[in-house]
Structure 1
Amino acid sequence: MSRMSALSIGRVGLLLLSCLFGAGVAVADPFIVGVATHSMNNPNQPLRSLELASIAGASSIRDDAFWSTAEPIRGQLRVVPQWRQWMAKAGGLNLNPMIILGYGSVFTGGAKPRKPEVKIPYLNYVDYITRQLGNPVKFYEVWNEWDVDGPSDPRLSSDYVALVRDAAPIIRKNNPQAKVLAGAATTAGIKAGFIDRIVACGVLKYADGISLHPYVHCEGRDRNTPESWIEWMRGVDRSISAKAGKQVPLYLTEMSWPSHEGNCGVDTPRQAAYLARAYFLARTLPNIKGMWWYDLINDGTKRDDQEHNFGLLDIDLNPKPAYAVLKAISPYLSDFSYDAAHSLQTDNVYKLAFTDGHERILVAWASGRERLESVGASAMDNGPLRMLDTQKPDRGMANSGQQWNCNGDQCSAPVTLTEFPKIIRLSPGS
């Protein structure tokens, strides 16, 4: 694990956070809280599920405009009614759509568009879809997980850059407001250098950012936690920026932990705890512009099937614990800025400082065993310590039962930290 600051704290030391928050924290674009859906193509997933995504605080949804669906007859392109209904529903809920332009055509044997006889019809499809779907689409991804056929194959990487080079001008001509994202690479592709190679080959001449699918749920013990994940992501971020010679916007367009019974799975409470920790840790890397949880709805009912258990909702749209957690934390993810200089981690205790310019919060948890920690603030007038415990998210921000103990302006309070983050309000009079 890395230290998030050069500062260190003693086990019994008092953390005086009022001194740690400086004025003038830079304001960036709101962080994107996204979810992946399958309702654009699956009539068995009702579009009212998008209402649940909106209620949970999502600002963007991601789905597929399959090439094979758009071109059922060679040379005859279409947008099916379900896609238009999905778009209309998203627009009514102010959910920004991300559309994946990819997969294969039945007329090309499902081949990737690497040769002219496949690329030309693919680009025709891109042109048609981006004209038809229009301005509501805010993001387009060029293909999805292109790297799976050969994560370490340099020819596959260079062919992908050539595809983005040819597709991006078409997208921009038809949808100048949309961002073009390249990569959508798997964990294997990231580790095997697929992203480094496409960046080195100049993909950022054509794309607005890099999209990643950095799953770690099967990485093994001590490498499959949110904390080990963010350490890996720091290295990925540094590598991409070094290859590009500049800071590169990163979009985590798929990320989650599945709650299935079996290898690589976690139970539903831990899925919820990991969601909270991962989203807040993602906010500690400025180049990460958003994260789309994969996915909104479970894909089936088999408890031992990984692919059936990634969702925030079960297949009947009943909320899992992770849904309630996302609903509780989403306002703090999108509206608050991370204060890196004043955030501390030591001995598996995480204390992350955030502010929206008016209100200050501390997001704190312990990975591993529970810890009793002292937190500090100023001018709390010996009042109640208010916090949102993500283990009990439906309670919202509430009095904790603890009181601030103040000596003049300086106040402290003991807080028991668990694997579920606690969002502690540090601003007086709120």
Structure 2
Amino acid sequence: MRLKIWPFAAAGTIAATALATAAVWSQVPATTQVTFAATPPTGRYTPPIFGATTHFGMGRPLGYTNGARAAAQLRSIGAGSYRDGIIWAQFSFPPNGSPVIKDPRRIVGFLPVAGARPLFSLGGPPFPLQQNGMPLNDAQLKQFAEYVEALVRMTSPYNTIFEVWNEWNLRVDWQKPATRLSGAGDPSDARAAVHYAAVAKVAVQAAKRANPSAPVVVGAVGDDPDWQWTQAIVRDGALDGADGLSVHTYNHCQGPRNRTANEMVNRLQRLQTLLRQQRGGRDTPIYVTEFGWPTVDGKCDISRERQGYNFAHYILQSATLPWLRGSWAYELKDEGQDPNDREQNFGIFGYDDQPKPAACFIKEARAIVAGARAVELQLPRPDIFVLRAVMPDRQLAVVWTNSLTPSSGVRFTARPSGVRMMCGDAAATDGTLPIGQAPLVARYPLGQPIALSITG
């Protein structure tokens, strides 16, 4: 093995970062007090939607063959929605009639048994798209609009949410481009923001013609450094008439310390800040239609336990973003059994339909935010999070860290009526408890202030 020698500039940067981090931590007191007033925060709180991706609309089964079982899995984790689709290529277009679904696949059978609200992606053309310039001509755009109208009418009994395309900024069809798009993209590239905005406008208008109350979100944005492409589609009018912006927020291939829920939430807050600057200060409803972590062996890996912790952290922390309308985990179950194939191992359940630890953590975190009347979050230290959730009959203080090497503890100075580890055992209500990635949940009566001390 050859020893890697860091260039001087890189070594200096690393040293400076280490010194800066040490300086921050040197300013953290040995004990940090956290308090929440007896009176909960005022203002309306609406829990965001939580769902998971399924693949009943795909040609390949990928393990999604039993609709009743998938519906039970969604219920078991508290998911009220699922993301799937009936693509354009599944329809035929008679010259003198309305579009007809010619290839219903398994999704048509899943719709009536799912017991959850669908979010359907609009796209999947029946022909390859050119990679240069606007990939759809006028006749193709007209057929796309007809497909959208037909699908909206077909699924109206299910209160379906619609999303225009999927990760257009990465590829416009199944063909993977040789290079990544830079920023908004040049109009000579089919992936350019200006072309997506044009297609999004057609889809939104078609969906609203079919059902004016149908929710339609645009974007479905794949990896987009500092949201440059996303800002460009908004400038080009993609949000005109739409009900929100959808994005994907993966981070599993970042450095191990950044594969966290907090990194995702910070990125979403950055996006909202940029959109406020662009849209006169008003908030934009945001939908995270893909996020998750693969439990794979090898590059971009994460353990099954940490996947579960991350899902819990994300559900708890993101519930405090008032403009976040919903999040859909990718995905409900593993697509295969190869432990080295990243794409096969994103599931909350395994390919054998057995739950991973994530299933319990999602269920318990979701029960807290879905049942709460109000939530508020404090970060007493850079890697320590304390959520207060006011429930109808009690209030909860939830404490966790996203540190890979946790060293802090918590003492509940206002004695709770009970403490337990999420998806674990009861803990002592007195003394100092270690703070780990598995959240601690302390229970208090309503109308009582909450106080705790962070130590270490």
The two structures have a TM-score, normalised by structure 2, of: 0.80
Q: Residue in 2 aligned with 1:138? A: 160
Q: Residue in 2 aligned with 1:199? A: 234
Of 90, 106, 118, which residue of structure 2 is paired with 1:69? 90
Q: Residue in 2 aligned with 1:325? A: 361
Query: Does the CA contact (< 8 Å) of 2:146 and 2:206 recur in 1?
Result: no
Q: Residue in 1 aligned with 2:113? A: 89
**1:323 and 1:125 mapped to 2: Cα distance?**
36
Q: Residue in 2 aligned with 1:185? A: 221
Of 327, 331, 334, which residue of structure 1 is paired with 2:370? 334
**Structure 1 counterpart of 2:123, one-letter code:** G
Does residue 230 in structure 1 map to residue 265 in structure 2? yes
Of 399, 402, 414, which residue of structure 2 is paired with 1:364? 399
- Note the residue ranges of structure 1 that are not aligned, 5 or more in a row: 2-7, 405-412
Q: Residue in 2 aligned with 1:386? A: 419
Does residue 354 in structure 1 map to residue 380 in structure 2? no
**What are the superposed Cα offsets for residues 81-100 of structure 1, whole Å, 9 maximum, x if unpaired?**
6232111012xx2x111011
1:144 and 1:73, CA in 2 relative to 1: closer, same or farther beyond 3 A?
farther
Deviation at 1:429, TM superposition (A): 11
Deviation at 1:13, TM superposition (A): 4.5
**1:161 and 1:347 mapped to 2: Cα distance?**
38
The equivalences for 1:16-95 within 5 A come to 16-17=35-36, 20-41=37-58, 43=61, 44-45=63-64, 46-47=66-67, 48-71=69-92, 77-78=100-101, 80=104, 82-90=106-114, 93=115, 95=116
SS of the residue 1:292 aligns to: strand
**2:77 and 2:407 mapped to 1: Cα distance?**
28
1:13 and 1:307, CA in 2 relative to 1: closer, same or farther beyond 3 A?
closer
**2:306 and 2:89 mapped to 1: Cα distance?**
38
1:269 and 1:221, CA in 2 relative to 1: closer, same or farther beyond 3 A?
closer
Deviation at 1:337, TM superposition (A): 5.3
Q: Residue in 2 aligned with 1:15? A: 34
**Structure 1 counterpart of 2:146, one-letter code:** N
**1:305 and 1:73 mapped to 2: Cα distance?**
41
**1:53 and 1:346 mapped to 2: Cα distance?**
34
Deviation at 1:278, TM superposition (A): 1.6
SS of the residue 2:322 aligns to: coil
Deviation at 1:354, TM superposition (A): 2.1
Deviation at 1:50, TM superposition (A): 1.8
**2:225 and 2:382 mapped to 1: Cα distance?**
29
Deviation at 1:260, TM superposition (A): 0.2
**What are the superposed Cα offsets for residues 351-390 of structure 1, whole Å, 9 maximum, x if unpaired?**
1222235432112112231421223436x5xxx5233x23
Tell which deviates more after alignment, 147-156 or 81-90. Answer: 147-156
**1:137 and 1:418 mapped to 2: Cα distance?**
40
Question: Over aligned residue pairs, what C-alpha RMSD do you find?
Answer: 2.8
**1:290 and 1:11 mapped to 2: Cα distance?**
38
Query: Does the CA contact (< 8 Å) of 2:227 and 2:271 recur in 1?
Result: no
**2:432 and 2:87 mapped to 1: Cα distance?**
53
Tell which deviates more after alignment, 329-338 or 117-126. Answer: 329-338
Deviation at 1:39, TM superposition (A): 2.4
**1:429 and 1:236 mapped to 2: Cα distance?**
36
**1:358 and 1:113 mapped to 2: Cα distance?**
56
Instruction: State how many pairs are aligned.
Output: 398
Could you tell me the percent identity over the aligned residues?
A: 23
**What are the superposed Cα offsets for residues 98-125 of structure 1, whole Å, 9 maximum, x if unpaired?**
0111122137679975321321221121
The two structures have a TM-score, normalised by structure 1, of: 0.84
Q: Residue in 2 aligned with 1:373? A: 410
Deviation at 1:154, TM superposition (A): 5.1
Deviation at 1:282, TM superposition (A): 1.4
Q: Residue in 2 aligned with 1:214? A: 249
- Note the residue ranges of structure 2 that are not aligned, 5 or more in a row: 1-19, 21-26, 172-180, 449-456
**1:24 and 1:417 mapped to 2: Cα distance?**
26
1:423 and 1:311, CA in 2 relative to 1: closer, same or farther beyond 3 A?
same
**Structure 1 counterpart of 2:80, one-letter code:** S
**Structure 1 counterpart of 2:306, one-letter code:** R
